[in-house]
């Protein structure tokens, strides 16, 4: 049954029940239960509406939540498959291997999620950076302290609903099964990741933390295992490489070993933060957000001089976080807690960069040219942060667009602090100039968006990988190395949690015992 409701009707169970009864023309007492199947916000008109698809149960109890529970087998003595990296790609590959009857052996350079949380608290206070334990590295990968938005632009990749079901099976709220834009939140993700670890260990899989893979072992052109930085050797015929796009060392290791890589398009830019109230008032057409409506979000895209400029990973009610993975680099990203209740709305605004756009100085690095350019821009941000650790260079948005230094900066969610800096001056023109025009275009789409109440923070450089590890589309193995399964965002085949998780599942399915 489809219902079009006010936000209050949709949020309050007693009103929703009334609406269901009225729609069905039955007495309210006969509605024994109901289940929301789909929920979205339609904010096109002055009075935003909630669109609900509901299953109602008349005179009978609700049926069980209907999705197929995973059938995990005991794999203690089964053939091992090495998985390098415990991000969404690695974890979902491991879960799929359990269903297949193969033994996942996960090697993860970072710490378990509990220990990692402590390092992240120190990072947020700008009191020290741990190269192996940060927003990128550690159990759950870049996905753990992320926003936890679970939607994918691409529906072609596979059964996205299955990913949501597996998150739900491991403890995520029912809402992710029916919200049009499902979201978990960085406060809930760590427990879900722990539950996944529990599943893997209980069924005989292995997870080794603080274990950085430093070499892939080959016998001729076939994988035989890997060696860790501590000199330990793990043996297996199949290895899923799910190291994410921040593990730059892995690309260098593969490159040095003569394993073929390819340059691919990527994107870089800044993160912009507005007061959430301002975004609410633009998107919901009113000064005050209805208390039953969620913090408003947006999605923007334009073309400037033949390249896309677009919003990326928009976090309503969120925080900007330091998401670098090395010393002397400033990288920012965004996240939000499940309630999305911070007073700020942030989003990456990035410019598409094709391999041929990478400046000539970097082309000497071949397939790694984009990676070196990315590192250069991250270093530029570091050089412009006044030597203050993880403080990020920033500028008021209208000042950035008109090329003026900001004498002061607005309050911002970025905990390590901001330093006023002329980003319009030091960002490479191909990025900075396009961003300036992009923000002007966005103001036409969302009047009031281009304002000095907003701040741009540098740099948003890790929205996608500049490198691809080529693989056969059928076997999903590297085009030359048998038994090597490049997978997830770092291999250049995914972007975001759900698509990385999907890629992990498909790679695991491709492995034959
Ligand atoms: C702050 C933040 C917010 C984000 N918000 C969202 C969001 O809301 N929605 C969304 O879809 N995406 C979001 N993302 C992106 C998302 O997290 C990534 O797309 C996703 O995690 C990629 O999954 P992956 O498994 O391919 O790689 P990763 O998650 O990067 O995992 C790779 C893992 O491999 C490990 N590793 C690397 N090298 C080695 C090695 N040599 N040996 C052993 N282990 C190694 C790393 O420590 C890491 O744990 C966010 C990212 C960040 C940083």
How many other CB atoms are found less than 10 A from the CB of residue 459? Answer: 30
Give per-residue pLDDT as tens, 452-502.
999 999 999 999 999 999 999 999 999 999 999 999 999 999 999 999 999
Q: How far apart are CA 104 and CA 202, in angstroms?
A: 12
How many percent of the chain have pLDDT more than 70? 99
The helix (run of H) or strand (run of E) holding residue 54 is strand 49-58
Atom of ligand 1 nearest to the CA of 488: 26
pLDDT of residue 152: 67
CATH homologous superfamily of 80-261+469-510:
FAD/NAD(P)-binding domain (3.50.50.60)
Q: How far apart are CA 83 and CA 493, in angstroms?
A: 16
Atom of ligand 1 nearest to the CA of 228: 42
pLDDT of residue 218: 94
| Ligand 1 neighbour 108 (Cβ under 6 A) | yes
Atom of ligand 1 nearest to the CA of 107: 43
**Residue 42: band (very low, low, confident or very high) from pLDDT cuts 50, 70, 90:** very high
Calculate how far, in angstroms, residue 247's C-alpha sits from the geometric centre of ligand 1: 10
Give per-residue pLDDT as tens, 55-97.
999 998 877 777 899 999 999 999 999 999 999 999 999 999 9
Nearest alpha carbon, ligand 1 atom 39: 243
Cβ proximity of 325 and 359 under 8 Å: no
Asked if the model's pLDDT at residue 234 lies above 90, the reply is yes
Cβ proximity of 279 and 318 under 8 Å: no
The residues, ordered by sequence, that sit 6+ positions from 17 with a Cβ below 8 Å of its Cβ are 28, 31, 34
| Ligand 1 neighbour 461 (Cβ under 6 A) | no
| Ligand 1 neighbour 242 (Cβ under 6 A) | yes
Give per-residue pLDDT as tens, 360-377.
999 999 999 999 999 999
Nearest Cα residue to 439 out of 347, 509, 362: 347
- Paired tokens of 143: 């996905």
Prior bond of 459 cis (ω within 30°): yes
Any idea what DSSP says for residue 151? Answer: -
Q: How far apart are CA 411 and CA 433, in angstroms?
A: 25
Average pLDDT over residues 426-438: 98
Give per-residue pLDDT as tens, 143-193.
898 877 887 655 666 788 999 999 999 999 999 999 988 999 889 999 999
Sign of CA dihedral 392, 247, 428, 387: positive
pLDDT of residue 147: 77
Average pLDDT over residues 221-231: 96
DSSP lists the bridge partners of residue 321 as 333
CA-based diameter of the chain, in Å?
Answer: 74
Q: How far apart are CA 11 and CA 26, in angstroms?
A: 21
Domain borders along the chain are 2-58, 80-261+469-510, 263-460
More confident residue, 438 or 152: 438
pLDDT of residue 62: 79
Nearest alpha carbon, ligand 1 atom 33: 85
- Mean pLDDT of the chain, nearest integer: 95
Asked if the model's pLDDT at residue 255 lies above 90, the reply is no
- Cα-based distances in Å from 430 to 179, 307, 336, 392: 37, 10, 30, 21
Rg (CA), the chain: 24
Pairing relationship of beta strands 222-228 and 233-235 according to DSSP bridges: antiparallel
* Contacts of the segment 8-17: beta carbons below 8 A, 24+ positions apart: 8/290, 8/292, 9/50, 10/39, 10/50, 10/52, 10/292, 11/292, 12/292, 16/52, 16/54
pLDDT of residue 277: 97
- Paired tokens of 372: 């070196």
Query: Buried b vs exposed e over 39-56: b needs ≥16 C-beta within 10 Å?
Result: bebebeeeebbbebebeb
Give per-residue pLDDT as tens, 264-283.
999 999 999 999 999 999 99
Give per-residue pLDDT as tens, 440-450.
999 999 999 99
* Domain 2-58 falls under CATH 3.30.70.2700: yes
Output the pTM of the full model: 0.95
Query: Buried b vs exposed e over 145-169: b needs ≥16 C-beta within 10 Å?
Result: bbbbbbbbeeeebbebebbbbbbbb
| Ligand 1 neighbour 78 (Cβ under 6 A) | no
């Amino acid at each position: 049954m489809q219902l079009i409701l006010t936000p209050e009707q949709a949020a309050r169970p007693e009103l929703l029940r009334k609406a269901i009864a009225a729609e069905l023309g039955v007495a309210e007492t006969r509605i024994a239960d109901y289940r929301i199947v789909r929920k979205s916000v339609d904010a096109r008109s002055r009075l935003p509406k909630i669109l609900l698809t509901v299953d109602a149960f008349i005179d009978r109890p609700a049926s069980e939540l209907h999705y197929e529970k995973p059938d995990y087998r005991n794999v203690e003595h089964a053939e091992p498959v090495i998985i390098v990296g415990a991000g969404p790609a690695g974890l979902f590959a491991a879960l799929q291997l359990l269903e297949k009857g193969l033994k996942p052996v996960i090697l993860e350079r970072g710490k378990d999620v509990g220990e990692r949380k402590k390092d992240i608290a120190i990072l947020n206070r700008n009191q020290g950076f741990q190269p192996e334990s940060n927003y990128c590295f550690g159990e759950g990968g870049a996905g753990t302290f992320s926003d936890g938005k679970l939607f994918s632009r691409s529906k072609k990749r596979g059964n996205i609903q299955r990913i949501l079901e597996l998150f739900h099976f491991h403890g995520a709220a029912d809402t992710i099964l029916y919200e049009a834009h499902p979201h978990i939140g960085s406060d809930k993700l760590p427990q879900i990741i722990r539950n996944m670890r529990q599943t893997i260990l209980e069924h005989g899989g292995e997870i080794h933390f603080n274990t950085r893979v430093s070499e892939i072992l080959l016998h001729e052109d076939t994988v035989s295992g890997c060696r860790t930085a501590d000199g330990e050797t793990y043996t297996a015929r199949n290895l899923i490489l799910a190291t994410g796009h921040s593990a730059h060392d892995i690309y260098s290791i593969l490159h040095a070993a003569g394993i073929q890589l390819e340059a691919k398009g990527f994107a870089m830019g800044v993160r912009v933060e507005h007061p959430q109230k301002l975004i609410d008032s633009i998107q919901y057409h009113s000064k005050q957000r209805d208390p039953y409506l969620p913090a408003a979000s947006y999605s923007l895209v334009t073309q400037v001089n033949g390249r896309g400029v677009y919003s990326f990973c928009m976090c309503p009610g969120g925080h900007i976080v330091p998401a670098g993975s090395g010393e002397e680099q400033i990288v920012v990203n965004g996240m939000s807690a499940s309630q999305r209740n911070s007073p700020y709305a942030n989003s990456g605004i990035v410019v598409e960069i094709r391999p041929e756009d990478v400046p000539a100085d970097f082309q000497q690095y071949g397939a790694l040219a984009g990676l070196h350019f990315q590192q250069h821009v991250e270093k530029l941000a570091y050089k412009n942060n006044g030597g203050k650790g993880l403080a990020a260079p920033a500028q008021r948005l209208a000042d950035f667009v008109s090329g003026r230094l900001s004498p002061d900066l607005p309050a911002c969610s970025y905990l390590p602090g901001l330093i006023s800096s002329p980003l319009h001056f030091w960002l490479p023109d191909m990025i900075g100039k396009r961003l300036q025009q992009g923000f002007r275009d966005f103001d036409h789409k969302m009047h009031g968006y281009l304002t000095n109440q907003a701040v741009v923070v540098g740099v948003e450089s890790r929205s996608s990988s500049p490198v691809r590890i080529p693989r056969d589309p059928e076997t999903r193995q590297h085009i030359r190395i048998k038994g090597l399964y490049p997978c997830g965002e770092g291999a250049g085949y995914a972007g975001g949690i759900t698509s990385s998780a999907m890629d992990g599942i498909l790679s695991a399915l491709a492995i034959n015992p």
